[in-house]
Amino acid sequence: MAKMYYEKDCDLNQLNGKKIAIVGYGSQGHAHALNLRDSGCDVIIGLRKGGKSWPVAEKDGFQVYPVAEATKAADIIMILINDENQAEMYQKDIAPYLTAGKAIAFAHGFNIRYQQIQPPADVDVFMAAPKGPGHTVRSQYVAGKGVPCLVAVEQNATGKAYDIALAYIAGIGGARAGVMETTFHDETETDLFGEQAVLCGGVVELMKLGFETLVEAGYEPENAYFECIHEMKLIIDLINKGGVAMMNYSISDTAEYGEYVSGSRILPYEQTKANMKAVLNDIQDGTFAGKWIAENKNGRTFFNSKRALLAKHPMETVGAELRKNMLWGDDADPDTASN
Ligand SMILES: NC(=O)c1ccc[n+]([C@@H]2O[C@H](COP(=O)([O-])OP(=O)(O)OC[C@H]3O[C@@H](n4cnc5c(N)ncnc54)[C@H](OP(=O)(O)O)[C@@H]3O)[C@@H](O)[C@H]2O)c1
């Protein structure tokens, strides 16, 4: 059984007198910073001057500094910029100011797992990784709930790294939902696998192919959007609340029968498992990481062309039009996405 921690196991007082620099103010950065501040912590923000996020963080009432200045001032430096930019920024703006006894922290283990960042031995290195998007980390906290988190310690130079990591996770609300102990190694590999095979890669491809199949057969695109995309959240909400059993309880017996006879026709067991194992293998042996690092060095041509193509896909354009006309309107703020 995995070791789990909850609020009773976390002591927020471990952060008393400690200044926390949140480096990056994007999806995770804004959520960690706002939640920690609302939990009574001393938070500053580290960013690059001239970037889009700087005025946003200032508008939210934070003191914002260049990353090097924030690193000098802080005891805990949480690195929440894009994974692909972290190694260069770490070398330039963090490593020179990382004195003994400070802590650096991550929300994902990519750069430690694939040795893009190699911290000195006299600092703590921990992970506080929410298992959900940053905007949900914020919206759940505000709703009095939390997003489950993973905790890991790569280096425990001070002997207090676990206490600090758990206090940090309590500060962002994660301990309200549950904190699972893991390693940087396992978090990185399972996180990459989950997002590629199931959550993002798998789900988007499934919805897209379902949408296309109905439209190509002559059905209305709006109908295809409601059926294959809009309803996805309603179904997932039930599974999230009470497992597949609660979904099956709520759907009709006809739908449940269809689930049993057609699910494995869409995702043939042997072939899909073999494909998933191949994806996992690329993650484990560093093939995926190597390609992603190279893609960033080479101007992201593949990534950008895929993003542009998706934006033009009818499932996106039809969906945008439908959402705009829903009674509650097209709410473009991810922080208020319904939970
Ligand atoms: N997104 C998620 O839901 C999620 C979930 C779990 C874990 N994580 C992890 O959380 C970390 C942050 O991801 P994210 O998705 O929150 O990032 P993000 O939304 O893309 O945010 C990027 C932020 O980093 C800043 N930034 C980028 N390069 C910089 C540089 N060289 N110097 C200073 N600031 C820089 C950006 O500022 P500018 O405005 O200046 O560009 C922006 O504020 C990653 O390790 C990711 O794997 C993310």
Q: Where are the alpha helices (DSSP H) in the chain?
A: 27-38, 53-59, 67-73, 83-89, 110-113, 134-142, 161-171, 184-193, 201-216, 221-225, 231-250, 253-266, 269-284, 287-297, 301-312, 314-324
| CA–centroid distance, residue 120 to ligand 1 (Å) | 23
Q: What is the pLDDT of residues 4-43, one digit of tens each?
A: 999 999 999 999 999 999 999 999 999 999 999 999 999 9
- Domain end residue (candidates: 121, 154, 182): 182
Residue 19's CB is within 10 A of a number of other CB atoms, namely 15
**Burial zone of 233 (CB within 10 Å; 0-12 exposed, 13-18 middle, 19+ buried):** exposed
CA distance 200 to 198: 6
From residue 167, alpha-carbon distances to 80, 160, 174 in Å are 18, 11, 10
Q: Which residues contact 122 (CB under 8 A, 6 or more apart)?
A: 100, 101, 157
DSSP 229-297: IIHHHHHHHHHHHHHHHHHHHHS-HHHHHHHHHHHHHHS-HHHHHHHHHHHHHHHHTTHHHHHHHHHHH
pLDDT of residue 338: 58
Pocket of ligand 1, beta carbon within 6 A: 24-29, 47-48, 51-53, 67, 80-83, 85, 89, 107-108, 129-130, 133-134
- 141 known member of a binding site: no
* Top mutation candidate among 25, 44, 80, 196 for ligand 1, by most atoms within 8 Å of CB: 80
The answer as to whether 279 is a domain residue is no
Residues 17 and 55 in one domain: yes
Number of domains in the chain: 2
CB-based contact 238:247 (threshold 8 Å) = yes
Backbone angles phi, psi at 89, to 5 degrees: -65, -40
The answer as to whether 281 is a domain residue is no
CATH of the domain at 83: 3.40.50.720
Q: Degrees (nearest 5) of the Cα angle 42, 43, 47?
A: 160
| CA–centroid distance, residue 275 to ligand 1 (Å) | 30
CB-based contact 170:7 (threshold 8 Å) = yes
Residues 99 and 205 in one domain: no
- Domain end residue (candidates: 182, 217, 249): 182
pLDDT of residue 7: 97
CA distance 13 to 10: 9
CA 137 to ligand 1: nearest atom: 3
CA 86 to ligand 1: nearest atom: 31
Residues 256 and 160 in one domain: no
CA 25 to ligand 1: nearest atom: 43
The answer as to whether 294 is a domain residue is no
Q: Name the closest-CA residue to atom 36, ligand 1.
A: 24
The answer as to whether 69 is a domain residue is yes
- 53 known member of a binding site: yes
Residues 170 and 214 in one domain: no
pLDDT of residue 339: 46
pLDDT of residue 335: 73
The answer as to whether 293 is a domain residue is no
pLDDT of residue 328: 79
Residues 178 and 246 in one domain: no
Residue 70's CB is within 10 A of a number of other CB atoms, namely 24
CB-based contact 166:179 (threshold 8 Å) = yes
Residues 168 and 92 in one domain: yes
pLDDT of residue 337: 67
Residues 14 and 147 in one domain: yes
Residues 162 and 35 in one domain: yes
pLDDT of residue 1: 86
- Tens digits of pLDDT across the chain (339 residues): 899 999 999 999 999 999 999 999 999 999 999 999 999 999 999 999 999 999 999 999 999 999 999 999 999 999 999 999 999 999 999 999 999 999 999 999 999 999 999 999 999 999 999 999 999 999 999 999 999 999 999 999 999 999 999 999 999 999 999 999 999 999 999 999 999 999 999 999 999 999 999 999 999 999 999 999 999 999 999 999 999 999 999 999 999 999 999 999 999 999 999 999 999 999 999 999 999 999 999 999 999 999 999 999 999 999 999 999 888 777 777 877 654
What is the pTM for the complete model shown?
0.92
pLDDT of residue 327: 84
Residues 257 and 173 in one domain: no
- Domain end residue (candidates: 115, 150, 182): 182
Residues labelled as active-site residues: 108
The answer as to whether 73 is a domain residue is yes
* Top mutation candidate among 65, 81, 192, 193 for ligand 1, by most atoms within 8 Å of CB: 81
CA distance 281 to 186: 13
The answer as to whether 121 is a domain residue is yes
Residue 173: domain span: 4-182
| CA–centroid distance, residue 84 to ligand 1 (Å) | 9
The answer as to whether 288 is a domain residue is no
